């Protein structure tokens, strides 16, 4: 991609890959926290949350460096804006993972009781989110390869977002039909919402890549 390999372009590409992998690790830690809390293992759940917080901070640092690299390169104003938009939306995935982790922590600290089957169903949602992020990272890693391969990864992100949308509504319904106390219902709803918003951020990232491809007639 000529437009992406101008001065500092290689640094931005490598940085975007690193950023995506850190974001993927953050989402994975959220999934592991859900597995642990579903088993009643609060100690390991907190360890996962602590690692997630560290990863989210690292993602923020990479985001700042990438935005600085893009701003200082020989890209056009529009290219610069598109790339910065993409980088920031990628970082939002980690931000929403952190929000979800904080709600798990609150559930533990308030001793809100959540049935095991609710944790299991939410974990299904987080597993689908991991796949969405993986496909997004693959898109970034293969942007300098074939057009068809990039499109396949973009379409895979879209498919995952649709799956998570369907899971979102079914999980919200499940929560409202449960016998959980209002405190648990509120916190679980916020956790589910965080997963949904992370998936939406994945789709926005894929949309941005698609727009860049079309704009440059790849």
The tally of CA atoms less than 13 A away on the side-chain side of residue 150 is 20
**How many CB atoms neighbour CB 177 within 10 A?**
8
- Distances in Å between the Cα of 143 and the Cα atoms of 13, 43, 183, 205 are 9, 40, 45, 13
C-alpha to C-alpha distance for 208 and 185, rounded to whole angstroms: 35
Please compute the mean of the pLDDT values over residues 153-179 and round it to a whole number.
Answer: 94
Domain of 166? 2-215
Sequence-distant (≥ 6) Cβ neighbours of residue 206 within 8 angstroms: 136, 139, 154, 157, 158
Domains in the chain, number: 1
User: Does residue 4 register a pLDDT over 50?
Assistant: no
CATH code, domain carrying 68 = 1.20.58.220
| 167 and 128 Cβ atoms separated by less than 8 Å | yes
pLDDT band at 1 (very low <50, low <70, confident <90, very high): very low
C-alpha to C-alpha distance for 68 and 39, rounded to whole angstroms: 43
User: Does residue 211 register a pLDDT over 90?
Assistant: no
Looking at per-residue pLDDT, the higher value among 28 and 112 belongs to 28
pLDDT band at 208 (very low <50, low <70, confident <90, very high): confident
Q: Residue 145: what pLDDT?
A: 65
Please compute the mean of the pLDDT values over residues 88-92 and round it to a whole number.
Answer: 93
């Amino acid at each position: 991609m000529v437009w992406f390999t101008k001065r500092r372009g290689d640094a931005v590409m490598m940085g975007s890959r690193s950023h995506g992998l850190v974001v993927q690790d953050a989402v994975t830690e959220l999934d592991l926290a859900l597995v642990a809390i579903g088993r009643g293992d609060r100690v390991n759940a907190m360890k996962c949350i602590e690692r997630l917080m560290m990863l989210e901070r690292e993602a923020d640092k990479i985001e700042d460096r990438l935005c600085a690299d893009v701003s200082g390169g020989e890209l056009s104003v529009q290219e610069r804006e598109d790339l910065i938009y993409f980088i920031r939306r990628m970082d939002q995935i980690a931000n929403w993972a952190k929000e979800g982790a904080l709600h798990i922590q609150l559930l533990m600290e308030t001793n809100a009781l959540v049935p095991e089957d609710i944790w299991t169903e939410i974990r299904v949602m987080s597993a689908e989110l991991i796949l969405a992020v993986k496909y997004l990272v693959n898109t970034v890693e293969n942007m300098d390869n074939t057009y068809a391969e990039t499109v396949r990864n973009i379409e895979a992100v879209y498919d995952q977002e649709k799956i998570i949308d369907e899971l979102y509504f079914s999980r919200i319904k499940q929560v409202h039909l449960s016998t959980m106390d209002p405190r648990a219902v509120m916190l679980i709803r916020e956790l589910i919402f965080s997963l949904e918003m992370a998936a939406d951020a994945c789709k926005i990232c894929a949309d941005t890549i698609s727009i860049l491809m079309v704009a440059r007639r790849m």
